[in-house]
Structure 1
Amino acid sequence: MTTALRAGIVILADQRWATAAGRWRRAEQYGFAHAWTYDHIGWRDLVDGPWFDAVPTLAAAAGVTSHIRLGTMVASPNFRHPVHFAREVTALDDISGGRLTLGVGAGGVAGFDNAVLGGEALPPRARVDRFTEFLEILDPLLRDEAVTYRGRYYTAVDARGTPGSFQSPRVPLVVAGLGPRSMRLAARYGAGWVTTVGRMDSLDAWWRAARESMSRFAEVLAAAGRELSTVDRYLSLDAAPRFSLSSAAYYAEALGRAAEYGFTDVLSHWPRADSWYAGDEAVLDEVAETVLPTLKG
């Protein structure tokens, strides 16, 4: 049975390029529509490394692939300033020949990205306030517009985005959002919206929450005057209690449910030897052979 869905893979930047390059090549060869990496200074207990930065990783990935879309899942204001980040994004879009999709989010409440720079761990409301400023500066810069801005969290003085994005009118943004304010930012700025739904102990409860989250986002879009069909809807499958690539059968089932609930895209993680997203790469091979060819997206 053919499903109208696009599948993506997240490749953590936890391997030296001699190993990582082959994963990005294989992601394209397997037939994934898009491939992503985390944008962190360090992440959870993997902070002790190895760990590599997202920007040069994506630049290198662009050099070993030819058509798969590439992106951050997700970049955040936790350590990025929108003026400098706009320069990095513009360069990545140019290097990749317009294959960049920028995943952005408000950033975690706590974690290494906050602590390592001595930053303040902002509460949820303040994080969304900061994220709003981040997007208000980043969006016009990526459109090659000069920006002067003075906010609570960011200042830009005659900042430039020249030459602007390779893509028109700018690099597409996929905006992460669980709550109503973040969803409204996705409706305003996003070519796409991504959700993790949130962590739950029950797989059935997680899938119910995914369906409910999709319904809430559809309402937010309608209130903003946007058609559902104009925004891609990404579901991060591995926030669920079961790893999406635990078996090819479960992966196929997960894709079917995501499509049924109204998502256009799904994200899974490259299987790791242990710890987070532990799994068997043989399952990935099987998925590439038996599941990905059934996707129309």
Structure 2
Amino acid sequence: MRVGIVILPEHRWWAAEPLWRMAEEYGFAHAWTYDHIGWRSLVDKPWFDAVPTLTAAATVTSTIRLGTLVASPNFRHPVQFARELTALDDISDGRITLGVGAGGAGFDSQVLGQEELSVEQRSDRFGEFVELLDQILTHDQTDYDGEYFKAVQARRAPGCVQLPRVPFVVAANGTRSMRLAARHGQGWVTTGRGGDTEEAWWQRVAELSLRFTDICHEHELDPLRVPRYLQADAAPEFALDSVERFRDVVGRAAELGFTDVITHWPRNDSPYAGSETTVEEIASEVLPEL
């Protein structure tokens, strides 16, 4: 079991830099940041872009993997984004993982004045987004004519440090996106599918894990060889409420076949309100055991 932590891009760099350094020093396997223009209750609060944040994080760390949780087509085009990913992978010396999702119906989908898409349309767009990103990052030159995205002689050079490209961890709670994860992903990440209670949430996570196993078999993949990431703080309770709770979360995730658990750096208030002391205790008591 590997453990990752999300550091929201809400701090000026003088305050954010120590957090990224500590994530590595504490022994987390990967560290992530959100890729949004604005996010939920924090939309009127300070917020910074994911790409320069990860670039800066790459320059002050040396071993921890870094990534987006998750990038989406809401405001990114694969041609331009492929260039950013190539640069990130180069600066980090091959430590970037692309967490990628379909994009929701929140602020990111409205702020640019776009036409609102249905769930099916967002799924169609997501498929094009991932497919085109994959093609650009793995082919010297790409032409593409989709409904949502187009590319004319998009170049790859110099290519990614990681071959054949940066790994994709595809966010999926539905069958179509799970199949996309099986086709193009080097990992699957889920938030579960809601649930008013802790047990209801875990039950739905278990159902999703079984469904993904079936889809792996459909695509002739060994389900035990595909990394599975659980965004544990989508549950009704914060995973870092206590060391005991975190141990329970990791144990239950492992029983369901997950290889990675992701939590959030505690904040002073909601969402993810908690104490940094808990992070220190987990780093000293839990992570060394995994």
Question: TM-score, normalising length from structure 2?
Answer: 0.99
In 2: Cα distance, 1:269 partner to 1:115 partner: 26
Is the contact made by 1:144 and 1:165 (CA closer than 8 Å) also made in structure 2? Answer: no
Partner residue in 1 for 2:17: 21
Q: In structure 1, how many angstroms separate the alpha carbons of the residues matched to 2:205 and 2:191?
A: 8
SS in 2 for 1:206: helix
1:246-288 alpha-carbon deviations (Å, 9 max, x no partner) = 0010001100000011000000001000021111111111111
Coordinate RMSD, CA, aligned: 0.8
Q: Partner amino acid for 1:267?
A: I
Partner of 1:213: 208
Q: Percent identity at matched positions?
A: 61
Match of 1:41 among 34, 37, 43: 37
SS at match of 1:131: helix
Partner residue of 1:281 out of 273, 276, 290: 276
**Aligned counterparts, 1:165-176, within 5 A:** 165-176=160-171
Deviations 1:93-134 (A, max 9, x none): 0000000000001011x1111111001221111111001111
CA distance in 2, matches of 1:80, 1:18: 27
* Structure 1: gaps of 5 or more residues: none
Contact 2:71 2:100 in 1 (8 A): yes
Equivalent residue, structure 2, for 1:251: 246
Question: 1:75 Cα shift?
Answer: 0.2
Mapped contact 2:131–2:184 kept (Cα < 8 A): no
**Relative contact order: is structure 1 or structure 2 higher (C-alpha 8 Å, sep ≥ 6)?**
1
**Deviation readout 1:125-152 (Å, 9 max, x if unpaired):** 1111001111121002112431111111
Match of 1:136 in 2: 131
Deviation at 1:198, TM superposition (A): 2.2
SS in 1 for 2:263: strand
Alignment of 1:1-297 (within 5 A): 5-108=1-104, 110-295=105-290
Alignment partners' CA distance in 1, 2:131 and 2:248: 39
C-alpha separation in 2, matches of 1:183 and 1:144: 24
Question: Aligned partner of 1:44: which letter?
Answer: R
Contact 1:141–1:164 at 8 Å: present in 2 too? no
Provide the TM-score with structure 1 as the length reference: 0.96
- The secondary structure found in structure 2 opposite 1:70 is strand
Structure 2 segments unaligned to the other structure (5+ residues): none
Q: Is the 8 A contact 2:160 2:166 kept in 1?
A: yes
Tell me the distance in 2 between the aligned counterparts of 1:121 and 1:164: 34
Q: Distance in 2 between matches of 1:50 and 1:144?
A: 38
Q: In the aligned structure 2, how far is the partner of 1:136 from the partner of 1:73?
A: 18
CA–CA distance in structure 1, aligned partners of residues 89 and 63 of structure 2 = 13
- The one-letter code of the counterpart of 1:98 is G
Distance 2:115 2:284 in 1: 47
Q: Would the aligned equivalents of 1:33 and 1:69 in 2 still touch at CA under 8 Å?
A: yes
2:28 aligned counterpart, secondary structure? coil
CA distance in 2, matches of 1:226, 1:276: 37
Distance in 2 (alpha carbons) for counterparts of 1:136 and 1:292: 35
**One-letter code aligned to 2:6:** V
**Partners of 2:139 and 2:26 in 1: CA distance:** 35
Q: Distance in 2 between matches of 1:72 and 1:198?
A: 20
| Structure 1 counterpart of 2:73, one-letter code | P
Q: Which amino acid aligns with 1:210?
A: V
Q: Find the aligned partners of 1:43 and 1:289 in 2 and give their Cα distance.
A: 32
